[in-house]
Structures are given as C-alpha cells and as structure tokens.
Chain A
Amino acid sequence: MKKQLLALGMGTLMLLPALCGVAACGGGGGENKDGKSYNITVWVGEGTDTLTKQQIQRFNETNEDGVTFNANVLIVSESKAVGDASSKPQSCADIFCFAQDQLARAVHGNLLMPLNTGSVNAITSSCDERSVEGAKIGGSIRAFPLTYDNGYFMYYDKRVVKEEHIGSLEDILADVDAYKGEDGLPRNFSMNLTDDGGSWYSASFFYATGCESEWTTDDEGNFIDYSDTFNSEQGLIALKGMQKLLKFPKYNASAEVSDFSAGIPSAVVVSGIWGYNAAKTALGDNLGIAPLPSFWVDANGNGQKDEGESYQLKTYLGSKFMGIKPQSDPYRAAYLQKLAQFLTNEQCQRERYDAVGWGPSNKAAAEAATTSPALNALNDSATTPQGQYPTGWWAKLDVMVGNAKTSTGDDASLNALLSTYSNALNELKKS
C-alpha cells in the first residue's frame, strides 16, 4: 500500500511544475514602464562620439519630459551600420547613423521605427528638401537627416597638378605622369574604382555620360521596378573613359587620403569630406581641392583632350541619416524620437560642422556653413542625387568594372560586359 501511495505522490509531483508552467504562461510578463530613465546604445560616425555624448547630456538636462538617457556611445562606420544592425537586430543600437544608400535596406530589414507626426514635421520644416526627399521610402520619411554632404571630389597636390589642369582628367593624368619628385619617386592617382566599395565611385563615369539607373521601392523597401540605361552607347563611352584611368600605370585603387603620405605618394585622391583633416595634415598649403574633372572620348574611344566629346564626372550627393531601432515600449519609442530630433537639430548640426566639418542637412545650419573648402568643392560639383539601389547592384557594378580593367578594351568586349551586367539586374527585382 505504501508503495502505491508513493507512486501516486510521484505522479502528482511530476505534474506540479507542468501545472505551474501553464499558470505562468497564462499570467504573462510585465515590462517596466517607468519611462524616466533609459539605458540606450548609440552608434555614431568616427570623430563624433565625444560630441554626441555631450549633446545627449545636454538633452538630459534640458528636455521638458524629465527623461534621462544613459547612453553608451560607440563608433560604428556609417557605411557598415546597417549591415551590423541586420546581423543582430535584437541587440543593435537604439539609435544609429548610416549612409543614404542603405536606407531601403534598413527599411526592408525592419531596422527603422516609423517616425511620428512631430518628427516628420520637424524634418520637413527644417531640413534641405533634397535630404528630405532622400529620407523617403514609399513616400514616407523613415529617418532623420544628419548631414547633406555624402559625396566625393578631388584632393590634389598643387606641386604636381597645375591649377589650370584640374578640369580635365587627361591633363591631370599627364601632370601626374610627368612628375618625378625630389625623392626620386613618381606620384599616383588614387580613385577607388575596383576595390571593395569601388562602385560608389565608378558610377560617376556612367552618370557623366548621361546614363541612369533608377530603382523604385514599395513601402517595405522592396525593389519592385527599375530603369537602367548603363547598357547603351553612353555606357560604352563611360567604360572607355574609365579605362583611361584603369590602364594608367600610376593608377591606385584607393579612396584613402593617407595615400598622400604613402611610400609612393599619390598626387590626387578622390575622396569625401571625411578625409579633409588628414589631407590637410599631409599636404599643408600644397593641398588643393576641386570638383571631379571631365574626360574626353572620341569616336575611336581614345580621345585626347579637345578630341571627341567631353563628359563631366558626376558625384553622388546625398545624406547621412540617424535612424531609430523599432521598440516594443511606446514610451521609450516616443522619447527616442525626441532625442533623435534633438541630435539632428540646427544647433547640434552646427556643432558637428564646427567639430568635424560635416555638411549640415538643416537649412539654417547649412547657410552658415561656408568656411569649409571641402564642402564648398562638393557644393560646386556636378552631382547626381543619391538613389536607393539593391545591395546586389553595387556588387554587379563592381564585377563589371573589375572585368573592364582586365578586358582588351575593344567595343565588343566592353559591350559584352555591359550586356552581362544588364541581364543580371532582373534578378535583383522583387517579382
């Protein structure tokens, strides 16, 4: 009898945790909705971490809601932020800064919280229309414009490249080719056309000849349609123009301004605002800054200057954005939007311009930002608005340009490359 009782007792005991579990499931869990103090992580671009910490501190002291953010501010490159966030969507930063070309990807990956009416109104009323337009996916603004300076231009060494030659790629290449420094070394021309990320720069040749690649997204960031004219006569001219640089013996596939101080230094580096301080340190008064030059291509594809037709290289011009990770706590979500508004307001953008030279997207701040030669060069450049492209598009452009470098350069081989590129685009479109 004892043993039967033991069996019964064991059965009851065994089911006890199960019953408790069912009860616990029904009860659910609660979240702390205190809403007054939050621990957050913020990813910002290089050189702005300290400034951002100060700005958050100021927000904590001045906001009317009495909310406090304990922010862990980390440096994560704007070009990598969306990729990093997508690899750990649950634990990525609450606020992160990213380049405009990744906006659709961020929306599609549900990495951005939809903005509320207050944020949208603040953005549309204070920011440059072009940056506001760039922040839209499917007609809705999805992130806070942080800068409007995301493009590239030419840093050059005035001792090598004559000032009157900076408008023509052929003249610049001739200057670079002819120069031999006191150190007995030649000089290079640095523009990243073939290395990782080179397609952002190589696209300038296609836009120079009038080619277009426009991609349409739906509200969720899916690419549903495209219009691409790279595979055309104009595209062929662009590849021929690009080959002048790719086959140039002193061409260096890099966008690093540190090339000015390399073992074999560069005389020209095509880069962006972010390289200004390093370039200035390397060249001092010999630093020249100018918009991208034009190139010549004649009917034979070997145009020298004043032969054939001239094509002005066009840089992308777009924004960097500040985005907010989707939240599950509405209070936290609301306060984060206020913080992001604050960090992208006129005063904060002015401070960022003063500290690191970033071009403001805020109209009032931009009007006052006139002292940066790098920003002025960018503003004087021929530009193409930064659009949204599928991630695969950049890689396919990279592949085409990489193959163009090793091709014989005749029309048939270049047309074959354009055709291969064009045929591959359809797979990028969401059917």
Chain B
Amino acid sequence: MSKRETMELAIGGEMLPMRFLMKYSYQGEKYAAFTPACGADPSDEEGVALTHIVSAETKSKERTRQRLLFRLLTAVTCILCIIPVLCVLLTALVFVLQPDFWWVGMSGMIVAVADLIVLIPVARALARARKDRKEQKRRETAYEVLPGEGNGEVFSEFEIRYRIIEKLSKNEPLSMLEYQRLNIWRKFLYRSKMFFRGIPGWFGRKFKRLGLRLKAFGISIWENIKDIGATFKNGSWKTRVSYFFMGFGNLSHRQVLRGVLFFLFEVIFVGFMVLSGGHWLGKFGTLGTTRLEKVYDPVLDVWVDKHIDNSFKILLYGLLTIFFIAAFVYTWRLNVKQCRILDEITATGKRVKSSKEDIQSLADNEFHKTLLSLPVLGIVMFTVLPIVFMILVGFTSYDFENDGYNNLFTWCGLDNFNRVFAFGSKLSLAFGEILAWTLIWAVVATFSNYFLGMFVAMMINKKGIKIKKFWRTILVMTIAIPQFISLLYVSNLFADNGIVNATLMRWGWIDSPIRFWGNGTLAKVMVLVINIWVGIPYLMLITTGILMNIPADLYESAQIDGANAFQQFCKITMPYMLFVTGPYLLTSFVSNINNFNVIYLLTQGGPEHTAWGEVGGYIAGDTTILITWLFGITTGPEASYKMASVIGTLIFLVVSILSLVVFTIMPSTRREEDYA
C-alpha cells in the first residue's frame, strides 16, 4: 500500500499534510500515527498511538448497493427540492404579470405542497442512507486509537470529536487536523464564521497600519525639515545659494546637466507663478468674486459681455497650480539634498558624477526612471488631476444656475454630501437602494456571465461535439454587431408595443402586453438576462483558450484517482480558471458597476421610481445604477454637476475599496508561484 493510500484510508479519503501522519508496520498490519495530535515520539513504536488501517480491498457488494441507493436518493431529493422552487417562482410570475391566470398559480402552489409532502420521507431515507454509507466508510477506513504505554497524550475518537465540538461552541480556532475532520458543510460554516469574525481584526490591522504609515510620514516630513535646516547651517556657501537659485550647487561642482535642469525648472515655476499661477491660486479660496459685466455699445446699439472671473477655470488652474507647487517643493528638496551629498563627497575628496555619467546612468542603472517618468507624468495629468478635480466639484455649488462662466459658483463645504447622507431623506433612500441594486447587478452580471460563458466554452470544447467552429461563430456574431445597436434593437423588441408582445398576442398566449420595461422587478430580470446574452460570447472566447491550456495529465491523474466530472471541475478546472482569470473577474466586476451601456440603452434606468422624487430635475428608476443616475443628474434639466460629483466620488470609493480588497486577496496575486 502506498503512502498516499495509507493517508487516505487513515482520514476517510480526505487529504492531510504529511507532517501529521506517520506510517508504521506492526506485527504484519499497517498502522498510521497522528504524531502532533498525540504528542508522542514517532520513533518510539511502543509510545505512539497507533492507528489500525483496514485494507482497501474490503469493499463488498453491500457497499456498492449502498452507494447506488445513496446516489439515487440524492438525485430524487434534488429534483424534489427544485420543483417547489420553480412552482413558487411560476406562481409569483403569474400573480405579478397575469393575475387573470390565478388558477395556474394556485396549481403551482398545490404541486409545490404535494412535492414537499413526498420530499419529507425521501429526505429521511436519504439521511439514513448517507449515515449508513458514512458508517460503512468509517468502518472500512477508520482508525482506532490504541492505548499506548508512553508518556504522550492519547485521545480516543470520541474525545477528539468532543474537543472539536467544544472548540466550535466556544468559537475557538481549530487545528488543521481538527478542521480536516469536519464534513464539507461544517467546513464551509467554519470558514464563513472565521471570515466574518476576522473582519474587525482585519480592519483593525489596516487602520493600525495606516496610523503607523501616517506617523512615519509625519516623522519623515519632520526629519526632512530638520535636514533642510541642518544643511543650510552646516553646508557650504554654494549649498546656501542653491536654496534660492536651484542647481547652483550642481553647477559649481561641474554637474552642468543637473544644475541647468534644476535652474530651468525654477525659472519655469517662477514664470508660471507670476504669469498665471499666482492669479489662479489667489482666487482659489473663493472661486471668483466678480461676475460678468454687461457693457452697452451705443453706436451699434448692442450689449456685450465682459467676463471677469470664471469659477470653472479658477478651480481647474488653481488645482493645477497646487500640483505644480507640490512638484516644485519636491524638486527643491531634491536640489538641497543633492547639494548636501555633493558637500559630503567633496569633503571626502572623492570625485562627483559628471553630466556624461548622469546620462549614461539614465540608460543603465537608472533606466527605470527614464522609462517611468513620462507615464507617471501622464497618470498625474490625466488620471490623478481629473479625479481630484471631480472630487472637489462635489464641495462646490456647481450646477446649471451656477455654471461658473455666467454665474459664479463657490465652495459649499459638505452640503452636497449631507444631502445624500441625510438620514431618512428621499435622496438618501434613493441612494441606498440604487447602490444596493448596483452591487447586485454587478455581482450577478459578472458571475452569471463568467460561469455560463465557461460552461458554454466547456460544452463546445467537449470531445464528441461536432461543428465546433459553427457554434463558436454563432456566439461570436453578437460581438460582431456593435453593442449599442443590438441593445437598442432588443429594447424595442421587448417594448410594450414591440414585436415580442405582438407575437405572443397574435398566438393568443397573452391578452395584454407584458410590461417588460414597465415593471421594476421584471425590468431588472430582463437586463440581467440580456446582459448574459451579450456577455457570454466574450467569456466563451476567453475561457476557451484557458481551458485548452490546462494540462491534460491533471485530469488523467484525477480520473485514475476516481474523481468524477464534478470533482474534476471543482478541484482542477475552477482553481485554474480562478487563478488565471482572477484579475479579469475583478475588472469585469468594476466595469459592471459602471456598465452604462446595457442599462441605459435597454431601459434608460426606468421604469421611473417616482416615490424617490427627483434629483436635479431627474427621476431615477428601478434599474438605475449609480453611473446612469450620475448621467441623468448631469444631463437633466438642472444639470446638477455638484450632486453628480458626489455620486461619482462615492462610486470611486466603492470601486477602489472593492478593487483593493479583492486584488489583495485574490490567488493570482498571492500565490503567483502556484501555476508558474
């Protein structure tokens, strides 16, 4: 018997790390010892608790019969469980959509009740069969803890189980060995419980780390200030001049390139501040005070506008100036630091780097700076700056009335955020419900596409499926047609007076149109289902490639070990897929939170949820997600950019927190070596 078989037998077919097990042969029988649990010395055969291994060859006909009975009962129970769910769904749909057909709904309910009556004895039989099977399995594979004579602590099976139950009831963590003894549901419950119990601690650690980082940041600033003071006090006169004329220290040490660059930067900065930066920064606190003037031209008999302040420009350029000042302060500090280093080098009599060497190092050991400088600048200009600008708009009164050009807007503190979070207000109610639906939408849309796309890909890739290219082509057709066209078409298809309703009425199936887009719940289901139709082909294409890359020998090994198709999927396909497509899942989730196209083109966010009232002249609807709400508010009659900014900021927070958390815990980033 191999070591692996011994392990499996010893723990009822579940794998355990080898460190827990030792295999022994004693008087011609095979034994395994749980050395850590028992605390015994594995080298001392007399002192360890030995576990009797029953041979795998003791399978009997009774076992086969029990297995078949168990599977049959499982299948019947599953079917009996699904039937009432379907009946209840059917009943609900009938009562919501076609109350006239109440008798269909009632029939569904009767079937559901009858089904439940049948289900009870079948479920009992299943439980019995399961118990018998487990008992049989245990008898075949269980070990008995034999009384040892050594000093090690020895536990019987009963004692071990008792300890586990006791630990669970006291919410104490289990050891790896104890965890492995739990059944699949208990494992799931235990993991879930441990996950939720761990959340406060996780946040606590994060906050603590944040606090430490802030503290370190503060200390670093203080250290820098001290260093600047000390450098001025102890540095050479050239270093002191560099405090006012950046790059002077470098130039005087014949580092011409660095010196010129530092100096040029200072010249540009001063020029910018005098020419425009100072102007924008001076007005940044008020966002402008002088509105436009209307001037009458008596000769031509016309009024012309003379614009003085522009709040929008002040906000934008003021922010740009602040960024520029921050960049200047950083560069100035760098200049001072370099001067100090140059002083230190010259004091030791060493040679300083020449400009030529500087350029060479940019192509060699400093090459990362050469490569990253432009992208970093681009990210700051085109990502960070707009995000900060967008967030700042939420603290102003920027809307249609105060557009910043004709009528100035100004800072208004947290007023806009207060409107969203005012407890009990219609706006906060609407925000809560829209946020909840946005998250539901994002989760369901992401995972339904993911699993169904994977399922379709597996079906098409399955051996024996003919004309695979044809099936793939059909699915890819939905990608070939621009999404906004297909979505608008489908939207019209399911309209109250659309072709679907017309056809159903013509066939006599319905008397009045089904309000696919007029009923909030139905509209939500529709957008989810249509999103599946639109999204599956993409997932099918992505997963086809990945599925083909999973090594076939993994499946062969699993088959030899007796794993069925479902086990192979759970233990090989899914982990592999999740590992490879983890980042895709995350980006897909984030893009679904901001999935404007599907929602807006299908329903425009409707049907209108009038109980929420209107925000900025726009009435949100049942299928409105945060991004379509933002769009509606911005383009609505009152063009409330300030409220749109608040919602945008909240979307940003939700997305960034979720992204960071998921990205941190996903296996692709934690266990890169697993599939290397």
Contacts and interface: CB of A to CB of B under 8 A. Distances in A.
Interface of A: 3, 6-7, 10-11, 13-18, 20-22, 24-25, 83, 86-87, 89-90, 105, 108-111, 113-114, 116-118, 183-186, 188, 194-196, 249-250, 252, 259, 262-266, 326-331, 333-334, 337, 391-392, 394-396, 398-400, 402-403, 406
B303 A113 contact: yes
A144 B497 CA distance: 40
A264 B502 contact: yes
B513 interface: yes
Contacts of B501: 263-264
Given A114-B303, A263-B502, A14 B263 contact: yes
A259 B502 CA distance: 13
A186 B505 contact: yes
A111 B406 CA distance: 8
Nearest to A17: B271
B495 A262 contact: yes
6 contacts: A87-B403, A114-B303, A334-B301, A391-B400, A392-B614, A398-B614
Given A14-B267, A17-B267, A266-B497, A86 B303 contact: no
A333 B300 contact: yes
Nearest to B252: A3
Interface residues of B, number: 61
B245 A89 contact: no
A86 B639 contact: yes
A391 B245 CA distance: 57
A259 B497 contact: yes
A15 B611 CA distance: 63
Contact of A264 (B294, B405, B497, B638): B497
B271 to A, nearest CB: 4
B610 interface: yes
A130 to B, nearest CB: 25
Nearest to A80: B635
A13 B264 CA distance: 10
B570 interface: no
Contacts of A330: 297, 299-300, 302, 304
B305 A185 contact: no
A16 B403 CA distance: 37
Contact of B245 (A7, A400, A402): A7
Would you call the interface of chain B mostly helix, strand, loop, or mixed? Answer: mixed
Nearest to B291: A110
Contacts of B432: none
A263 B270 contact: no
B521 to A, nearest CB: 14
Q: Is the interface of A mostly helix, strand, loop or mixed?
A: helix
B303 A333 contact: yes
A184 B496 CA distance: 16
Given A113-B303, A263-B498, A391-B638, 16 more contacts: A6-B248, A17-B274, A83-B635, A113-B302, A188-B496, A196-B604, A263-B495, A263-B501, A266-B497, A326-B305, A327-B304, A328-B305, A334-B302, A392-B617, A398-B608, A403-B611
A395 B300 contact: no
Contacts of A89: 403, 405-406
Top 5 nearest A-B pairs (CB, nearest first) are A402-B610, A263-B502, A110-B406, A17-B271, A21-B275
Given A83-B639, A113-B302, A330-B300, A188 B608 contact: no
A403 B304 contact: no
B305 A109 contact: no
